[in-house]
Structure 1
Amino acid sequence: MKTISKLLIFCLLGLTAQTVSAQTSTSPLMLNHIAVYVHELGPSTAFYEKVLQLQKIPEPFHDGRHTWFTLGAAGQLHLIQGAEQNTPRDKNDHLCFSVASLDDFIANLDKHKIAYTNWPGTAKAPTVRVDGVKQIYFQDPDGHWIEINNDRPGK
């Protein structure tokens, strides 16, 4: 019985590897990274690390102008210093991340004293989309808009 189980697991792993290989070979694009141009690297790095709780990863430049974060299988987020200060930002141009618990994420925003709104701009109130997904919006130190929602499989 153990031999059959091992054989079945081996076959399933082989099929999974073939499926992944077939999917990646037919897909023309795969996200590698998103670059966000910031004015001052220090405050932005602290924001993305502490507020968004992203994990820093090594970056190859070592020039004090870059911070890289992992986004898991989705790719990476690169912060690059050098943007002009006080650039106006439109909420339609935003990054979006999903979380398992929007309430827990909101508690983290409150801990860091980060103001958030719903889409129309009402403070401390999530938007509930027609599909039931809850979402909030806030800005990073450079005014880049960020959406956080609870649109996750199995929610």
Structure 2
Amino acid sequence: MKNLFLGGLLLLLFVLGAPRPAAAQGPTALGHIALYVVDLQKSTDFYKNILLLSEIPEPFKDGKHTWFRIGPHAQLHVIQGNKAQDHDINTHLAFTVPDLAKFMAHLDKLHVRYGSWKGEAGKFTPRPDGIKQIYLQDPDNFWLEVNDDKF
């Protein structure tokens, strides 16, 4: 009887301590995106004043990092130290705004260049599902999409 009890206890400990499959741990979620930039101040100004992102505290306090909130549980980490380079439009970050026309007017007021996927200045691209998209580049030539998706 004692051996049966110990065997059952060991089996229970094994089952409770066994690694669980990823599905049992919940879905993977986006935590942050990091962009390696040439000039931190230019990039910080762009994301704060052009894209209107909210800056949040960063733990390094070394003058090489700026962090922004980009969703309820996601951040954009901008890190200084890169050399200038070009980027392909197919690799881009996409942001959503409640009113794309108002955001386009904001860009126009600040003389920020933007356009459609085809590169038509001041135009938007309509997606097949009706969402409107524009594309622009940050100071480091990273491509950004801004759209009016309502999810």
User: TM-score range with shorter-chain normalisation?
Assistant: 0.7 to 0.9
- SS of 1:80's partner is strand
CA distance in 2, matches of 1:95, 1:74: 16
Per the alignment, residue 54 of structure 1 pairs with 53
2:72 corresponds to which residue? Answer: 73
Give structure 1 stretches of 5+ with no counterpart.
1-23
Secondary structure at 1:109's aligned position in 2?
A: helix
| Residues 25, 48 of structure 1: alpha-carbon distance in 2 compared, 3 angstrom cutoff | farther
Q: 2:114 maps to which residue?
A: 116
* Correspondence 1:94 to 2:92: yes
Q: Give TM-score, length-normalised by structure 1.
A: 0.80
Q: In the aligned structure 1, how far is the partner of 2:105 from the partner of 2:149?
A: 18
Q: CA RMSD in A?
A: 1.4
Where 1:104 maps in the other structure, the secondary structure is helix
1:84 counterpart = 2:83: yes
The residue identity in structure 2 corresponding to 1:95 is L
Q: Deviations over 1:68-117 (max 9, x none)?
A: 001232410000000102x0110001000011100111011112111111
How far apart, in 2, do the equivalents of 1:123 and 1:144 lie?
17
1:28 is displaced (CA, Å) by 3.6
Contiguous gaps of at least 5 residues in structure 2 = 1-22
Alpha-carbon deviation of 1:26?
A: 4.2
Aligned-pair CA distance for 1:27:
2.4
> SS in structure 1 opposite 2:72?
helix
User: What percent identity do the matched residue pairs reach?
Assistant: 50
Partners of 1:40 and 1:139 in 2: CA distance: 14
- What is the distance in 1 between the residues matched to 2:50 and 2:145? 13
**Counterpart residue identity of residue 67, structure 1:** T
Q: TM-score with structure 2 length normalisation?
A: 0.82
Match of 1:150 among 120, 141, 148: 148
Identify the residue that residue 125 of structure 1 maps to in structure 2.
Answer: 123
The one-letter code of the counterpart of 1:81 is Q
Q: 1:21 maps to what in 2?
A: none
More helix by share: 1
- Higher Rg of the two aligned structures: 2
